[in-house]
Structure 1
Amino acid sequence: MRRGERKAMDPDLGIMAGQTLFAIQRELFETLAREGHPRLRPRHGAVLAYLDEEGSRATDLSQQSGQHKQVIGTLVDELVELGYVRREPDPQDRRAKLIVPTPLGLEEMERADAIVADIERRHALAVGEDVYAVFKQAFRQITRLQRARLAQPPTPAG
């Protein structure tokens, strides 16, 4: 049996996580486009999914999303141009900048949260709320374990 066939029959965690991510992103951004946000792309989720209403630092967005700070900077530039965020001095540290959602950004964040909540409700109904709650808890724990592993220094090969 070919590797692709094996992976299709019994996908590993990475494949399932990727397929789930891409399917959710596609539904989310297609719905957002129909609802007045046609210029947003899934890559913008690295900022918008983690952005606080009162603003967030780029370093925090980078850490939360797992993206490099330079990538976040590029995405913020795009979102500024599209009118979803602006940069402001951080009142806690005037040397730092906050990424702050505009009214358009706040509206998008509210819609995105509602769309994702609908997706989650649909899955909970399909598999049962108890099963879905256990799944989310296990997936949350696996995500924490994997991210913690990445934070550890590499061990020498031997």
Structure 2
Amino acid sequence: MRRGIHREHHPDLGILSARLLFAVQDELFGTLAEQGHTGLRPQHGAVLAYLDVEGTRATDLARRSNQHKQVIGKLVDELEALGYVERRPDPDDRRAKLVVPTERGLDQMTRSDAIMAGLEQRHAQAVGAEVYAEFKRVLHEVALRQRSWRDDHG
């Protein structure tokens, strides 16, 4: 059996997870654009997906999203220019800054949550609620194990 044919019919974890990620990003950011949130890119998810309503330190965003602080800083700059976030002093540590969603950012967060809930509901209906819940549980476990391996070896 040729390797290319095998990979097409039996994709590995990397290929499957990339396909899923890109398809979810396409739907999420495409729908957000249709709803007036143009200018956002999937890379902005490294900030937006991990941002707390009351604000989050950039170091926490970097840790949560597994991105370098410099990458997060660049993304925050872009999102600030687009009107989604602003930097404010952290009331717990005046030397630190919080990345806080603006009204536009809060609207995007609410819409993203609704889009993702609809996407998940659609998949749960297609394969069955129990199967989908088990899929998410196993996917979460695999992701944790892979991240643990990287932390131990990286």
Normalising by structure 1, what TM-score? 0.94
Shift of 1:3: 2.8
Deviations 1:44-74 (A, max 9, x none): 1110011000000111111111111111000
The alignment-based identity, stated in percent, is 60
Q: Which runs of 5+ in 2 are unaligned?
A: none
2:129 aligned residue: 129
Corresponding position: 1:115 with 2:115: yes
Residue 96 of structure 1 is matched in structure 2 by 96
Partner residue in 2 for 1:12 = 12
| CA deviation string 1:87-107 (max 9, x = no partner) | 011111111110000000000
Aligned pairs (5 A) from 1:32-111: 32-111=32-111
Q: 1:4, CA displacement in angstroms?
A: 2.8
C-alpha RMSD of the superposition = 1.0
The ranges of structure 1 where at least 4 consecutive aligned residues each deviate by more than 6 angstroms after the TM superposition are none
Query: Is 1:150 aligned to 2:121, yes or no?
Result: no
Counterpart CA distance in 1 for 2:76 and 2:2 is 42
Which amino acid in the other structure matches residue 10 of structure 1? H
Unaligned runs of 5+ in 1: none
Provide the aligned length of Structure 1 versus Structure 2. Answer: 154
Instruction: Give the CA deviation at 1:153.
Output: 4.2
Q: 1:114-134: per-residue Cα shift (whole Å, max 9, x none)? A: 100100000000000000010
